[in-house]
Structure 1
Amino acid sequence: MWDNDDLPGAELSGAELSGADADGYIRAAMRWHFDPETGSPFWLAQAASLGFDPREAVRSVEDLRLFPTVVDQLRNVRPEHLIPRGYGDAADIVGVYDSGGTTGAPKRVVFLDDWLQRMITHMLEPLDRLGIPLGLNWLGILPTGPHAVGHFIGLAARARRGLMYTVDMDPRWVRKLIASGQTAQADAYVEHLVEQSSHILLSQEIGVLMTTPPMLERLARRDDLLAAITRNVRLIMWGGAHMDADTHDLFRNEVFPGIPLHGVYGSTMIMGGASQRLGDTEYPIFDGFGPHITFRVVDPVSLERVPYGTRGQVVTNHVSRSMLLPNNLDRDTAIRVPALPGQPGDSLGDLAPVQVFGSETVIEGVY
């Protein structure tokens, strides 16, 4: 059994892990995921076609690049086949969640509670450093089922001892409307989200607002909503659609001055999110949660790392007791930024989507 105490550095935060601890964690993960007694049916079936034994060949975070990208198979795989056998009957299943479907049919993963609790703890850690008090009420204008983010935010509000208000968002419908040229209908749907949000923002004391950059822009168009946010909100968390440096500065310094603006780069294929680096930076920078969530920024053709300060395509890795999703060439580009001390992999600056991924045009829409 893979107990936390058996993993070098497993109970440490990502910023505290040394490279040696992170690599030891990866070796333990390979033993877990590829032992017939503990691995998942999905990965044990993949093992025969890999051409190498991960328990011998994968010795470090860098060696995760040896794996093929398998995430497209998650469009059709049965989620129960993703659960490692080592959990036995003790697998505490939180739920099955979809990717956004931006690049075709959605991919599907299963979340177990041990990973989810660790992810929530990591996601909330910056709030203490930002001085955000406990007991604030939260409003999430976000996708709920079948997407994981709505579930995450509800747990985050509960952990921070606040009430959770929600406005459900269907980003797939918005993308479909935009792709078919029905921009007026897409705009009407976004206005519908604004109207629902207004009933909460104008009648309740919301201390934490979590939504996307397009929704922040639409909320700020209304003077009454902007006044309510300025009066009550102590923290704006943003994610989903990307935010460029100019928009980030505009929101932070002119539209919502005095309210901390904190981003989360979330993805179903990393089973969680990467937090925005605190402090003044030239553009939003997102740091991994190593060794669980790590990034490489590469040339999309050669797949070799680009120099620091250069834009490339993002490769993501997720390695935990409950899931293995290595070497996924993502739909996003970023500027390669040195990681924080002790953190494996790269950090991501000024994230932006590619225009075409595979054969699909990438449309962010409202999320």
Structure 2
Amino acid sequence: MKNNLYLLIFICFFTLSNAQSYDFKTVIDLDATEVISQGNTGTCWSFSTSSFLESEIIRITGKTIDLSEMYNVRHTYPQKAYNYVMRQGHTQFSEGGLAHDVINRMATYGLVPNSVYSGLKNSNDKHNHSKLIDTLTKTLDKYIENPKLYTSNWKDDVNAILDSSLGQNINTFTFEGVTYTPMSFLKMTKLNPKDYISITSFKHEPFYTNFILNIPDNFSNGKFLNVKIDELVEITNRALEKGYTIELDCDVSEPTFSSEYGMAIIPNDANNTEEAFKTITQEKKITQEFRQQEFENFNTTDDHLMHIVGMVKDQTGKIYYKVKNSWGKNSSRVSNDGYIYMSAAYFKLKTISIMIHTDALKNTYKKYIKNQ
């Protein structure tokens, strides 16, 4: 009995003495614009993808440009509304979207700087779309309920609501002394919408094919290249090593995702989350099968998009992705200033998809791009 007591004391002492607080060192830190807040909106897809494109502009041209997130939103809502009406309300109409929605709008409507189209009206300095989405939904539902009794054109009404809430569309503007249209401004940035590809990893569709991922925010039926999860990690790591940042769609509803601590992890002991944010802990091994299970039982959902801009490592050598969030700079306990350090385990389990420049892909995958 005494020996068992001594052994227990030794184990406790050994555990406590080996508990290490996180000490992160930068491995890769790519150029990105300032962390900002999406406010009270569900438009993380536009904020994160705009941030991604801003880094692409820096990488390609060396220019730092603050793009308008709300210009993309302004041109995406009518597309979502049309989809909702033509499906007679039997689909989701919300603020949500995906990275390819920004790419699609960019291809059709170009880009503008935030200084030209902020989406803020009446001297507001924070975005708030709670009333906007409610007003749009009521308008659309009224038309769907009885189109014959609807006395005006619902498309015109949607545009009028968007103009009133976000601002009217613009055809020309001046930026740094030069007059542009949205399309000529896009040309100046040297971004090509055809250069970007969305990649995912799920077993219910064949690997190395392109398929429509059936998730609520994929209203535009975007296609995704399907690869194995270890290859998704490899693609991500190689892209960062080559200087390409990455757009990320993932689940942040887990208690092990914390903006307060600036971390996202998958600890072995799910009952010890608070301590896992403070000291280095072992994480679960994530398999393709477990990832699929968590997706199909809705434990993993597409609820937030962010922007991967680098890597850090702790003192044990474990790698974490440096992820730029759009919830503003915060006073997190580890002072990450609006960034999240995401472990590889969390990435493998909770990533819905990534978007990257096609040049960041190995030649092995390039033959699948044409079907996107």
TM-score of the superposed pair, with normalisation by structure 2: 0.27
The structure that is strand-richer by fraction is 1
**Structure ID, larger Rg:** 2
TM-score of the superposed pair, with normalisation by structure 1: 0.28
The higher-RCO structure (CA 8 Å, 6+ apart) is 2
